[in-house]
């Protein structure tokens, strides 16, 4: 969750998730936008019927292989542990300038544990790059990406995305997402390219 000063609008790179269309993150008609231009979850799933794709918060994902050239071959797991939908007041106090095209937005906070399993060191920011929040109204959005500065979110400090983890090391982080006002987080997803359906962690309530 990187933030821009109030004079600059918060931006999310506009790469639509597979099977969905739209523009900026959190738009009511958008089903997801890309952080760092990453690829989204997929159509044309080749998943087998007995493959586990739904997890409880606190359960780790299967080991995922890095798609970054610098850490090619490294594996890691992602464990979403807690999700909270924020408020309009938190958005107003964040220091971010609202995007008029997207309309009113609110934050969603996702706390996760990233664990480097094997291979070359990996940056924290590369290990949470495929996380997506899906709302109760079907909007899917990637994490907030901004150009400079820091947003202020209660109990959700900006992670050190450049920190490198070696095999066996873990990092607990909080990531901020923006969704349309009036929506609630329904699930956290971990995209797996265009040929596999994403893994998901439903959010109770």
**Whose CA is closest to 19, among 48, 40, 2?**
40
**Whose CA is closest to 112, among 173, 55, 60, 63?**
173
Tokens representing 40? 């989204």
Give pLDDT tens digits for 139-155.
999 987 654 457 889 99
From CA 126, how far away is CA 149, in angstroms rounded?
20
Q: Does the pLDDT of residue 51 top 90, yes or no?
A: no
Tokens representing 116? 């480097």
Q: Does the pLDDT of residue 41 top 70, yes or no?
A: no
67-73 mean pLDDT = 87
1-11 mean pLDDT = 36
Q: Mean pLDDT lowest for which of 13-22, 99-108, 129-138, 188-197?
A: 13-22
Q: Quick one: pLDDT band at residue 203, thresholds 50, 70, 90? A: very high
Q: What is the dihedral of CA 47, 32, 178, 137, to 10 degrees?
A: -80
**Alpha carbon 70 to its chain's center:** 21
**Alpha carbon 50 to its chain's center:** 26
Q: Does the pLDDT of residue 4 top 80, yes or no?
A: no
Is residue 193 within 8 A of residue 42, CB to CB? The reply is yes
User: What count of Cα atoms within 13 Å lies in the side-chain half-sphere of residue 118?
Assistant: 6
Q: Quick one: pLDDT band at residue 63, thresholds 50, 70, 90? A: very high
Give pLDDT tens digits for 86-131.
999 999 999 988 778 889 999 999 999 999 999 999 999 899 889 9
From CA 126, how far away is CA 71, in angstroms rounded?
9
Q: Please enumerate in sequence order all residues whose Cβ is within 8 A of that of 148, keeping only pairs 6 or more positions apart, or say none.
A: 2, 4, 5, 8
């Amino acid at each position: 969750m990187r933030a821009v000063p109030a004079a600059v609008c918060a931006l999310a790179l506009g790469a639509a998730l597979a099977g969905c269309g739209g523009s900026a993150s959190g738009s009511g008609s958008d089903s997801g936008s890309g952080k760092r231009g990453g690829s989204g979850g997929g159509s044309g799933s080749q998943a087998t019927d007995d493959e586990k794709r739904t997890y409880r918060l606190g359960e780790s994902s299967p080991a995922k292989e890095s798609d970054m050239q610098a850490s090619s071959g490294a594996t890691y797991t992602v464990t979403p542990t807690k999700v909270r939908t924020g408020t309009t007041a938190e958005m107003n106090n964040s220091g971010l300038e609202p995007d008029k095209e997207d309309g009113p937005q609110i934050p969603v906070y996702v706390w996760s544990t990233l664990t480097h399993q094997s291979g070359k060191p990996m940056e924290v920011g590369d290990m949470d790059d495929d996380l997506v929040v899906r709302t109760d109204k079907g909007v899917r959005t990637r994490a907030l990406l901004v150009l400079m500065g820091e947003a202020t979110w209660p109990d959700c400090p900006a992670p050190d995305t450049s920190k490198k983890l070696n095999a066996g090391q873990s990092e607990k982080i909080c990531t901020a997402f923006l969704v349309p006002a009036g929506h609630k987080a329904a699930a956290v997803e971990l995209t797996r390219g265009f040929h596999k359906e994403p893994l998901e962690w439903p959010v109770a309530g």
